[in-house]
A and B are shown apart, each in its own frame.
Chain A
Amino acid sequence: MTLDPSVRDAVLAAVPSLRAFAISLCGNVDRADDLVQETLLRALANIDSFEPGSNMPAWLFTILRNLFRSEYRKRRREVEDADGTYAQSLKSQPEQSGHVEFQEFRAALGKLPPDQREALILVGASGFSYEEAAEICGCAVGTIKSRVNRARARLADMLSIESMEDFGPDVATRAILSGTTSR
């Protein structure tokens, strides 16, 4: 079996987005790239089950997600706090995207339950429709919608709490001291 050039191109074209998704799932670039590699191996071994003309990115994302899920479950049995590990690994690479703003955002993203995080990323960043995201995650469209909503609400909550702490009492105190009553 030789790889059809158009199939190979379609697979390669999906790699950048697959990596971004993988990094957002595992919070670690090296692990993410291993996951992408595993995904490509799995995909090409099963390329016959890919229907020509159907959605290649969605197919690859599904494979990657399933691989991650089975690995995650395994790791969860080995390591107690999989979520804590994720948050830590995020914090350990602050230089990935310079801005402090992004570090806070990443940390908040890392605290989301995995279900909510992946739904938010598929819809909000990867650009999949709710229907496609539902197919990738093997759940109902309504489930994706509610996960995305809960993810947004929770992020907004975490980020606003953090920014309130940042400006917190000092701003209020200064406002009172300077007699500002505009807000």
Chain B
Amino acid sequence: MDTPSSPPASASPRAQGRLGRDVQAKIGNQLRAIYDDVVQEGVPDRFVELLKRLDKKDEKGSDS
């Protein structure tokens, strides 16, 4: 499953060479932007509630 449908490397001038610094930076920035979008949403109530519930349940006895 290494290269299912990738275009021939010759299609891109960058395919063979090393990545330019601008390209690396752009990839890094976009990756972090997408990631941080989610991180900034913080902890949804759903998970705070879940931990509270588990905490109480554990006191009564586990059922995992």
A residues apposed to B, CB below 8 Å: 1-3, 8, 11-12, 15-17, 19-20, 23-24, 33, 36-37, 40-41, 44-45, 83, 96-97, 101-102, 105-106, 109, 113, 120-121, 124-126, 152-157, 159-161, 164
Contact = CB atoms under 8 A, between A and B. Distances in A.
Interface in B1-23: 1-2, 4, 6-7, 9, 11-15, 19, 23
B35 A121 contact: yes
Given A41-B54, A44-B54, A157 B47 contact: no
A181 B5 CA distance: 36
Interface residues of B, number: 43
Contacts of A106: 34
17 contacts: A2-B55, A3-B55, A8-B51, A12-B47, A16-B42, A19-B44, A24-B34, A37-B47, A44-B58, A96-B37, A121-B31, A153-B15, A153-B19, A156-B14, A157-B12, A157-B14, A160-B23
Contacts of B9: 157
Closest 8 CB pairs of A and B: A125-B35, A20-B38, A45-B64, A16-B39, A105-B30, A156-B23, A3-B55, A15-B43
Interface of B: 1-2, 4, 6-7, 9, 11-15, 19, 23-24, 26-28, 30-44, 46-48, 50-51, 54-55, 58-59, 62, 64
Contacts, number: 114
Nearest to A42: B64
Task: Classify the secondary structure of A's interface with B.
Answer: helix
Contacts of A159: 23, 26-27
Contacts of B19: 152-153, 156
Overall SS of chain B's interface: helix
B43 A155 contact: no
